[in-house]
């Protein structure tokens, strides 16, 4: 069971106490990379792609989003990911994290390949560093990354040729890093 560091643990516990019903949060981004995979960077938000039931999304963000009393108290917050292209079958690969630690709050994280693919469209320095970190610290098969990209993500992209180039550059970056070791 993953130990939740502060202030996250107290923040989640406060939200859990406030909830009347169970909710499921599908999470990705810097929080997952930092807390679950131990990336050496900080983040102040939990990127939430889906809240189930969906009717609780607004309540969650109004209660624990940026600028709320809980954000001011703990210095962290939930951020609803508005625009993210996710691999088609990502739900099948979600992993429950922090199981049994809260009564009503349930977290499900994207796997490392799906997290990487959600970053391909933006491709800022931090995204590239996150992808490189994931590839360096765990089992990260470039064939799996490429297969998921071409089968589950590319058909849904607006300008796939741009992301094709990004994927090619990422693969070269990862291979170069691996060859130096």
CB 97 within 8 A of CB 109: yes
pLDDT for residue 77: 97
pLDDT of residue 83: 73
Residue 24: Cβ within 10 Å count: 16
pTM: 0.93
Q: What is the largest CA-CA distance in the chain?
A: 52
What pLDDT, on a 0 to 100 scale, did the predictor assign at position 1?
56
d(CA 32, CA 142): 20
How confident is the model at residue 170, as a pLDDT? 97
Residue 129: the pLDDT is 95
Residue 76: predicted pLDDT: 98
User: Mean pLDDT in each 10-residue stretch from start to end of the chain (181 residues)?
Assistant: 88 96 95 93 94 93 96 97 88 95 97 96 93 93 98 94 96 92 71
In the prediction, which pLDDT does 138 show? 85
What is the rounded CA–CA span in Å between residue 99 and residue 118? 24
Distance CA 24, CA 2 (A): 18
- Give me the helices (H) in the chain, please: 8-18, 30-31, 57-64, 69-74, 112-118, 125-137, 142-148, 160-180
């Amino acid at each position: 069971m993953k130990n939740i560091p502060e202030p996250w643990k107290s923040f989640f516990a406060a939200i859990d106490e406030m909830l009347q019903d169970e909710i499921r949060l599908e999470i990705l981004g810097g929080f997952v990379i930092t807390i679950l995979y131990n990336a050496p960077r900080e983040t102040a938000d939990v990127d939430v792609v889906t809240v189930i039931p969906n009717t609780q999304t607004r309540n969650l963000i109004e209660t624990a989003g940026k600028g709320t009393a809980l954000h001011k108290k703990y210095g962290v917050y939930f951020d609803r990911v508005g625009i993210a292209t996710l691999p088609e079958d990502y739900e099948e690969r979600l992993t429950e994290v922090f199981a049994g630690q809260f009564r009503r709050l349930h977290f499900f994280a994207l796997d490392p390949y799906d997290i990487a693919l959600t970053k391909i469209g933006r491709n800022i320095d931090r995204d590239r560093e996150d992808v490189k970190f994931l590839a360096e610290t765990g089992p990260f098969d470039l064939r799996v990354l490429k297969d998921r990209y071409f089968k589950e993500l590319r058909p849904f992209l607006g300008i796939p040729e741009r992301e094709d180039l990004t994927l090619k550059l990422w693969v070269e970056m990862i291979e170069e890093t691996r060859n130096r070791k």
